[in-house]
């Protein structure tokens, strides 16, 4: 799909990959609708796009809240029309071992990205189906193929994004509305500052895959849209590693587990780390 004169809605557009993609899509001539919770950050991204002659509008919303999503979708439809492209990108989540993860935090990690992607998609899908065109892009991660220790709820939510995309594709069979999955390994973004303690848990094996910038991530998304890709995956070494995993899952899993985060010593070998009196 070409981006010129298309309306592209991007969640998580106030920062990182979402903000970079908004700028890249606007340079291709798309009208971008920027969604996230922090209005000031959204306005900064929009101002940058407008200063270069692009079209951008901001819609502050917490996409984990279904009622807020319903309301903002109504406003967007009235004021800007239903989008041609939805990029479900908003996401957060600290990398934690299972027993370190508070129940509420596990639920929040499922709420954004997965439930948020479901709510946003559902809000605009009837209009896309009536028009019989549209593209839904879902941000996942290499964690949805090859999880590593110490990021259980994070990885599970990215598998949910992968599952949602596959199920959506089946669901949309026979229509002209498409769904695509986006898969990156490490991207240098504010994600690491927003989710403290996670960067320290990147497995050593990540060194096989070059870290990309948010601009490189955005360029891959734009290229993938223009080439109608079902899976947008970059850099090339990520494909190589996932190919190796498909052929030899034992060694790849061994490498990730052995270069990944370790529980604190007092919690290994069955001890729960409880001090003995
Ligand atoms: N960085 C990486 O290495 C990497 C790799 C693969 C996949 N990803 C995925 O890519 C996505 C974007 O990550 P990033 O690196 O760009 O991180 P980021 O800089 O932390 O951006 C996250 C974005 O999500 C928004 N967001 C979070 N919770 C929200 C909510 N409840 N409602 C609305 N917006 C919300 C944030 O905006 P507000 O705080 O203003 O709401 C922000 O714009 C995430 O889903 C992440 O898991 C990242």
Q: From ligand 1's centre to the CA of 180, what distance in Å? A: 18
SS3 sequence, 192-243?
Answer: HHHCCCCHHHCCHHHHHCCCEEHHHHHHHHHHHHHCCCCEEEECHHHHHHHH
Instruction: Note the pLDDT of residue 276.
Output: 33
Which residue's structure tokens are 């492209």? 85
C-alpha 48/C-alpha 23 separation (Å) is 8
Atom of ligand 1 at shortest range from CA of 90: 24
Q: From ligand 1's centre to the CA of 269, what distance in Å? A: 35
Residue ranges around ligand 1 (CB below 6 Å) = 11-12, 14-18, 36-38, 41, 62-64, 89-92, 112-113, 139, 141, 184, 186-187, 189-191, 194
What would the pLDDT profile of 195-235 be if each residue is shown by its tens digit? Answer: 999 999 999 999 999 999 999 999 999 999 999 999 999 99
Instruction: Note the pLDDT of residue 251.
Output: 95
Rounded mean pLDDT, 236-260: 96
Catalytic (active site) residue 145: no
Q: Could you give the C-alpha distances from 60 to 35, 108, 123, 204, 226, in angstroms and in order?
A: 6, 19, 16, 37, 28
Q: Which of 10, 11, 12, 162 to mutate to test the pocket of ligand 1 (most atoms within 8 A of CB)?
A: 12
Instruction: Note the pLDDT of residue 6.
Output: 98
What would the pLDDT profile of 66-121 be if each residue is shown by its tens digit? Answer: 999 999 999 999 999 999 999 999 999 999 999 999 999 999 999 999 999 999 99
Atom of ligand 1 at shortest range from CA of 62: 32
Q: From ligand 1's centre to the CA of 15, what distance in Å? A: 7
Instruction: Note the pLDDT of residue 43.
Output: 98
Instruction: Note the pLDDT of residue 268.
Output: 62
Determine the 3-state secondary structure of 88 from DSSP.
strand
Kindly report the average pLDDT of the chain as a whole number: 95
C-alpha 154/C-alpha 150 separation (Å) is 9
Q: What is the pTM of this model?
A: 0.96
Whether the per-residue pLDDT at 267 is higher than 90: the answer is no
HSE-CB at 119 with a 13 A cutoff on CA atoms is 24
Q: Where are the domains of the chain?
A: 7-264
Smallest CA separation from ligand 1 atom 47, residue: 91
Q: Which of 10, 13, 16 to mutate to test the pocket of ligand 1 (most atoms within 8 A of CB)?
A: 16
What would the pLDDT profile of 9-49 be if each residue is shown by its tens digit? Answer: 999 999 999 999 999 999 999 999 999 999 999 999 999 99
Smallest CA separation from ligand 1 atom 44, residue: 91
Does domain 7-264 correspond to CATH entry 3.40.50.720?
yes
Smallest CA separation from ligand 1 atom 30, residue: 62
């Amino acid at each position: 799909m070409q981006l010129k004169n298309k309306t592209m809605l991007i969640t998580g557009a106030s920062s990182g990959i979402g903000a970079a993609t908004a700028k890249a899509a606007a340079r291709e001539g798309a009208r971008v609708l920027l969604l996230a919770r922090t209005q000031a950050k959204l306005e900064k991204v929009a101002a940058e796009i407008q200063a270069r002659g692009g079209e951008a509008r901001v819609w502050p919303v917490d996409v984990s809240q279904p009622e807020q999503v319903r309301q903002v979708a109504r406003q967007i439809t009235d004021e800007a029309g239903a989008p041609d492209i939805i990029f479900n990108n908003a996401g957060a989540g600290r990398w934690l071992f299972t027993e370190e993860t508070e129940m509420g935090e596990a639920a929040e990690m499922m709420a954004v990205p997965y439930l948020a992607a479901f709510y946003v998609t559902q809000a605009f899908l009837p209009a896309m189906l009536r028009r019989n065109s549209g593209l839904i892009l879902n941000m996942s991660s290499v964690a949805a193929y090859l999880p590593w220790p110490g990021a259980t709820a994070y990885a599970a939510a990215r598998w949910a994004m992968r599952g949602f995309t596959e199920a959506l594709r089946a669901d949309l069979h026979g229509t002209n509305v498409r769904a695509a999955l986006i898969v990156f390994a490490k991207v240098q973004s504010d994600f690491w500052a927003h989710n403290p303690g996670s960067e320290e848990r990147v497995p050593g094996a990540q060194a096989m895959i070059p870290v990309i910038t948010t601009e490189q991530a955005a360029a891959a998304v734009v290229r993938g849209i223009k080439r109608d890709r079902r899976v947008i995956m970059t850099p090339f070494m990520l494909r190589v590693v996932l190919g190796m995993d498909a052929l030899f899952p034992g060694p790849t899993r061994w490498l990730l587990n052995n270069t990944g985060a370790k529980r604190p010593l007092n919690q290994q070998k069955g001890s729960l780390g409880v001090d003995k009196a």
